[in-house]
């Protein structure tokens, strides 16, 4: 990457303490968020290039997987090779970028391995490319999702922090506003990804219009749970930093809640296609 995130110890946020802040007062967290946000447009450009020019046509199974490896690897490799100033004297497992990647990877793995089958069975989605898979989900998706989600969750952190630092006094009104924001931003995130991926011809839907409208709600459940849970990690200076173990437990807890909500959707709302399974879709 040609542009490095700022690692200055004097200004992790955009304003002085007490004002509205974009980035965390935790230097390690601030650096990682900046990195993931800077990397976002880079992987988006790469992914757009692959899809728009259909570079993947006639790709081998391994080539499909390598497209994802190229996209996911910088999420780990760049901060490892070029750590921010705040991270240089920290063990790797205490660096925020490491914990962020672990949290997102668990959420990503569970999402692709299990939750993708709700998309198959409730929403009529299908991946049609001939590539290596696990549990009928292409390896490519696990890899690409790491880049997607590190960007999404970093952006949600910034937006939530703006709200919390602009409206510092806890109140019912603030709680309601934050809940409404999370609902709206979760739907927006899910809709925009679903809409922009329409040009990828190997990801098909039985009813594209309903997928945009209803499928984005189902997908948004991931973020309704994930955004506020992820924000908590190493955010408050007065609290002990998350250990790697706690990071894993928190992510798995978020995964369990999303799984419950998705299955409640299956039971009480149903799908947009016929023959919805009467058991959890991966059974």
Structure tokens at 121: 């069975």
Is residue 87 in some structural domain?
yes
CB 279 within 8 A of CB 111: no
What total of structural domains would you count in the chain?
1
- pLDDT, one tens digit per residue, over 146-179 is 999 999 999 999 999 999 999 999 999 999 999 9
pLDDT(15) > 50? no
Is residue 40 in some structural domain?
yes
Is residue 16 in some structural domain?
no
Is residue 1 in some structural domain?
no
pLDDT(14) > 50? no
Report the 10 Å Cβ neighbour count for 186.
Answer: 24
- Give the DSSP letter string of 81-142: HS--GGGTTS-GGGSHHHHHHHHHHHHHHHIIIIIHHHHHHHS-EEE-S---EETTEEHHHH
Is residue 122 in some structural domain?
yes
Using CA atoms, how far apart are residues 202 and 89, in angstroms rounded to an integer? 45
Q: For the chain, what is the mean pLDDT?
A: 92
Is residue 2 in some structural domain?
no
Quick check: helix, strand or coil at residue 251?
helix
Is residue 70 in some structural domain?
yes
Using CA atoms, how far apart are residues 70 and 44, in angstroms rounded to an integer? 12
Is residue 113 in some structural domain?
yes
Closest CA to 151 of 251, 229, 36: 36
Residue 7 binned pLDDT confidence (cut-offs 50, 70, 90) = very low
Contacts of 133 (CB under 8 A, 6+ apart): 139
Closest CA to 210 of 276, 280, 119: 119
> Where in the sequence is the domain holding 69, given as residue range(s)?
27-268
């Amino acid at each position: 990457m040609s542009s490095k995130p700022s690692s200055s110890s004097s200004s992790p946020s955009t304003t002085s303490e007490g004002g509205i802040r974009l980035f965390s007062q935790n230097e390690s967290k601030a650096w990682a968020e900046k990195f993931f946000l800077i990397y976002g447009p880079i992987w988006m450009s790469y992914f757009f290039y692959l899809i728009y020019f259909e570079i993947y046509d006639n790709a081998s199974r391994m080539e499909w997987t390598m497209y994802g490896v190229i996209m996911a690897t910088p999420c780990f490799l760049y901060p490892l090779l070029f750590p921010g100033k705040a991270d240089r004297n920290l063990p790797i497992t205490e660096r925020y970028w490491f914990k962020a990647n672990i949290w997102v990877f668990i959420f990503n793995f569970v999402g692709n391995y299990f939750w993708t089958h709700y998309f198959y069975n409730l929403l009529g989605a299908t991946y049609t490319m001939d590539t290596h898979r696990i549990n009928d989900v292409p390896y490519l998706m696990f890899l690409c999702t790491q880049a997607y989600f590190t960007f999404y969750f970093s952006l949600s952190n910034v937006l939530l922090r703006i709200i919390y630092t602009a409206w510092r006094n806890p109140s019912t009104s603030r709680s309601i506003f934050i809940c409404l924001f999370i609902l709206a931003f979760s739907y927006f995130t899910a809709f925009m990804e679903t809409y922009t991926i329409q040009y990828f011809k190997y990801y098909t839907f039985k009813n594209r219009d309903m997928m945009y409208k209803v499928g984005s709600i189902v997908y948004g459940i991931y973020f309704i749970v994930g955004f506020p849970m992820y924000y908590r990690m190493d955010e408050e200076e007065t609290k002990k930093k998350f250990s790697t173990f706690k990071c894993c437990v928190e992510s798995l807890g978020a995964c369990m809640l999303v799984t419950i909500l998705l299955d409640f959707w299956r039971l009480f709302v149903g799908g947009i296609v016929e023959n919805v399974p009467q058991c959890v879709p991966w059974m």
